[in-house]
Amino acid sequence: MSGLTQYRLANTLLRASRTTSPSVSYRLFHSSSSHNAAENPPPAEGFLAGLAESKFMKRTSDEVFKNPELESVSGGETKKMNLCQAVNDAMSIALATNEKAAVFGEDVAFGGVFRCTLGLAEKFGRDRVFNTPLTEQGIAGFAIGMASMGHSPIAEIQFADYIFPAFDQLVNEAAKYRYRSGGIFDVGGLTIRSPCSAVGHGGHYHSQSVESYFAHCPGLKVVIPRSPIQAKGLLLASIRDKNPTIFLEPKILYRSAVEQVPVDDYELPLGKAEVLKPGKDVTVVGWGSQIYTLENAIHMAEQQVPGLSCELIDLRSILPWDVDTVVESVNKTGRLVVAHEAPKTAGFAAEISSTVLERCFLRLESPIQRVCGWDTPFPLAFEKFYLPDRVRCFDAIKKAVEY
């Protein structure tokens, strides 16, 4: 069998496996035996340990409505949802309130590989929620065409790792559509959803964080939520924003914990970071699932360094990112730690570091610390060593403070 034939066969098998769950993909490509599931179960990862106990998860209605960003729905009903259900609820509201909205992608009519679109086809009809062929370039191109005609397509790329066949459509067509027509035409109604980041057993084709690739492209918005409340509000804002938006969902968070989520229709601001924990000694910045790793690292640091006070910021939007909030914090603390799962070289932490250095140079008390994935393909067996875990983040905080 030639190398080209082997490649084509492996690629066909790999892409066929994407219609199943990540655990099935794991068994297909990484099991060396034919033992049944009871004798040889998949790894017990796929959820974020400790997330259910996070202080940032809102467990009561009173906690939910303390957030001034939710003032528009204050006093309304809340419902317990995980992040997957919150995404589903946001799309349901978008379809109900906008007759020009449509949801499509690989397997979405069945509920999708993560079941985020479950029940939408039955509720809104298969002409508005439908499956596509397995072609990411085609999905993006079709969505751009719909958006150019005034519709609001909500297209799903089944895994962010497979968004790259659509890269040309997104960065050369969607991002530039308004600019190249002198503002006559636009595809502002376009939203691309995609599950991203580590899940515990995804390997190098189901674990990547791709935000920095798109952050380099003017004309797009890039958003990453950390929780069910955030996911619903930010997704609705992304769908209704008049710019093409890439909405990346950390898949490890889909079923890791629940929050009390407002039932009513609400939006959260794009391009605005949130200060989750005020502090005075060091600014710590992250987004998505990394927020909970940083929460644990901060807890370790404040226990081991008496009197230490860390400020934690969830960036939420990668493009545009909230420069003012981060700069204001660093001018106060004099120190900055940024963490993300993507590789360090040219990761978005580098952009944040450069901007902060330009604007806060005379206020910095120590070198800026970046805690990131290593500059390698995302590994399967060594995932725990690859990810910026709480110990690596703790070491960075300690290094910044003790410099």
Q: Which domains does the chain have, with CATH numbers?
A: 54-262 (3.40.50.970), 274-402 (3.40.50.920)
pLDDT tens profile 304-331: 999 999 999 999 999 999 999 999 999 9
Does residue 82 sit in helix, strand or coil? strand
> What does the alpha-carbon distance between residue 134 and residue 141 come to, in Å, rounded to a whole number?
13
In this prediction, what percent of the chain has a pLDDT beyond 70?
Answer: 88
What count of other Cβ atoms lies within 10 Å of the Cβ of residue 40? 12
> What does the alpha-carbon distance between residue 236 and residue 86 come to, in Å, rounded to a whole number?
10
Q: DSSP code of 204?
A: G
Q: What are phi and psi of 105, to 5 degrees?
A: 160, -175
Query: Strand runs (DSSP E) across 251-335, as ranges?
Result: 258-262, 274-277, 282-286, 310-314, 317-319
Tell me the two tokens of residue 155: 């297209």
Please report the pLDDT score of residue 53 as a whole number. Answer: 86
Please report the pLDDT score of residue 24 as a whole number. Answer: 34
Q: Which residues are catalytic?
A: 136, 206
pLDDT tens profile 192-208: 999 999 998 999 999 99
The alpha helices in 209-275, defined as continuous H runs, are 211-215, 228-240
> What does the alpha-carbon distance between residue 259 and residue 85 come to, in Å, rounded to a whole number?
10
b/e code 361-381 from CB counts within 10 Å (16+ = b) = eeebeeebbbbbbeeeebbbe
The answer to whether the bond into 320 is cis (omega within 30° of 0) is yes
Rg of the chain on CA atoms, in Å: 21
Low-confidence ranges of the chain (pLDDT < 70): 1-47, 49
> What does the alpha-carbon distance between residue 261 and residue 185 come to, in Å, rounded to a whole number?
36
